[in-house]
């Protein structure tokens, strides 16, 4: 369906858990976040009910995220159910990759249409530093296997000043011999990201071009949304930028989000009080639930206001792991 600014909203990102087996420094504190009580997390039945209604309103693409989605038991079953739902054209997952080898076959059987793996460094020590875990080999193995299955695979990297700025060209080179998309995501001032210095798209692109030559922009839209893609001649895969800060893409935004505890977020930036889980537990019928969904999608804010101090009161205070990125 279209929102009040005539944007087509056809994509929902669903966080299935706020828990994670990593502790990335820009996302979670070392001791972890105070986890949402199990009873407050949406059940799979509740998620499926919402996806069915959302599909009726024109949502065609679903992303399963977290926290770490693969730590929630039965997530492949959920993906299977969603992928069979009328109206749903793609179900993808975003994962840190540590459990990917273990679940890849199940994910493929469930009908997953794409896998995004987060990887901020190719250096084992740095990996241990940033994630506070020693799972570099597992992530690499998961990535390798995902590529081998032929499933469309993307690598998400958050460039950080003083951390991985010297290896961005090497990370981009993962797209040289394999048909993967390597995407650089600008650090967003959400949760612990507020304290971290990211690196903007233009600087990264300049660095890549000085190593690989001119990058050719790809005009057609690939994937679910805001990434702007480039081709480096001779590379099998593509390079993407998701630059919420330096190249705001709100005008073409096509998504809404559902947090693990059932809050519908029309925009990543703003706090939301649309508690769909509570509505369902209070016994709302499908007709009324669909109306809440529809009204919220229609009223989606025009754009984010990251960094605008005057809007601090209404901005999101949750950590990224509870929202799903």
Residues within the interface to ligand SF4 (CB under 6 A) = 20, 22-24, 27-28, 66-68, 96, 118, 320-321
Structure tokens at 17: 């858990």
User: Residue 23 binds what, of ligand SAM, ligand SF4, none (CB under 5 to 8 Å, by partner type)?
Assistant: ligand SF4
Using CA atoms, how far apart are residues 311 and 145, in angstroms rounded to an integer? 44
Strands 274-275 and 11-15: unpaired
User: Residue 65 binds what, of ligand SF4, ligand SAM, none (CB under 5 to 8 Å, by partner type)?
Assistant: ligand SAM
User: Residue 266 binds what, of ligand SF4, ligand SAM, none (CB under 5 to 8 Å, by partner type)?
Assistant: none
Q: For residues 68 and 81, which CB has a smaller minimum distance to ligand SAM in the complex?
A: 68
Report, in Å, the least distance between residue 66 CB and ligand SF4: 6
Helix (H, G, I), strand (E, B) or coil at 54: helix
What number of CA atoms fall less than 13 Å from residue 154's CA on the CB side? 23
Quote the distance between the C-alpha of residue 25 and its chain's center. Answer: 17
User: Residue 28 binds what, of ligand SF4, ligand SAM, none (CB under 5 to 8 Å, by partner type)?
Assistant: ligand SF4
Report, in Å, the least distance between residue 67 CB and ligand SF4: 5
Report, in Å, the least distance between residue 188 CB and ligand SF4: 12
268: left (phi over 0), alpha (psi -120 to 50) or beta: alpha
- Which residues of 39-165 form beta strands (DSSP E)? 61-65, 90-95, 114-118, 153-157
Q: For residues 95 and 272, which CB has a smaller minimum distance to ligand SF4 in the complex?
A: 95
User: Residue 156 binds what, of ligand SF4, ligand SAM, none (CB under 5 to 8 Å, by partner type)?
Assistant: ligand SAM
- The binding site for ligand SAM (CB under 6 A) comprises 20, 26-27, 65-66, 68, 94-96, 118, 156, 158, 185, 187-188, 190-191, 193, 320-321, 324-325
Structure tokens at 277: 């889980």
Strands 114-118 and 11-15: unpaired
């Amino acid at each position: 369906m279209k929102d009040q600014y005539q944007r087509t909203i056809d994509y929902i990102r669903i966080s299935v858990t706020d828990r994670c087996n990593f502790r990335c420094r820009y996302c979670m504190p070392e001791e972890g976040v105070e986890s949402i009580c199990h009873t407050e997390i949406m059940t799979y039945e509740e998620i499926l009910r919402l996806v069915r209604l959302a599909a009726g309103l024109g949502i065609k693409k679903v992303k399963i995220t977290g926290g770490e989605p693969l730590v929630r038991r039965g997530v492949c079953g959920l993906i299977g159910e969603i992928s069979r739902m009328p109206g749903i054209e793609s179900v993808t997952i975003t994962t840190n990759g540590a459990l990917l080898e273990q679940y890849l076959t199940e994910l493929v059987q469930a009908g997953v249409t794409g896998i995004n793996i987060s990887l901020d460094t190719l250096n084992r020590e740095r990996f241990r530093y940033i994630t506070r875990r020693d799972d570099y080999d597992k992530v690499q193995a998961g990535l390798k296997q995902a590529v081998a299955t032929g499933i469309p695979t993307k690598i998400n990297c958050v460039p950080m000043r003083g951390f991985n700025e010297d290896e961005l060209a090497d990370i981009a080179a993962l797209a040289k011999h394999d048909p993967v998309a390597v995407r650089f995501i600008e650090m967003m001032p959400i949760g612990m990201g507020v304290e971290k210095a990211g690196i903007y798209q233009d600087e990264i692109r300049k660095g890549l071009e000085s190593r690989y030559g001119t990058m050719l922009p790809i005009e057609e839209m690939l994937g679910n949304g805001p990434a702007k893609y480039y081709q480096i001649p001779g590379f099998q895969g593509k390079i993407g930028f998701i630059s919420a800060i330096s190249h705001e893409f709100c005008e073409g935004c096509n998504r809404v989000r559902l947090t693990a505890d059932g809050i519908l977020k029309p925009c990543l930036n703003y706090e939301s009080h649309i508690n769909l889980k509570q509505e369902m537990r209070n016994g709302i019928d499908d007709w009324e639930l669909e109306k809440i969904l529809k009204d919220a999608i229609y009223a989606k804010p025009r754009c984010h206001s990251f960094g605008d101090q005057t809007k601090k009161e209404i901005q999101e205070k949750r950590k990224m792991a509870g929202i799903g990125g």
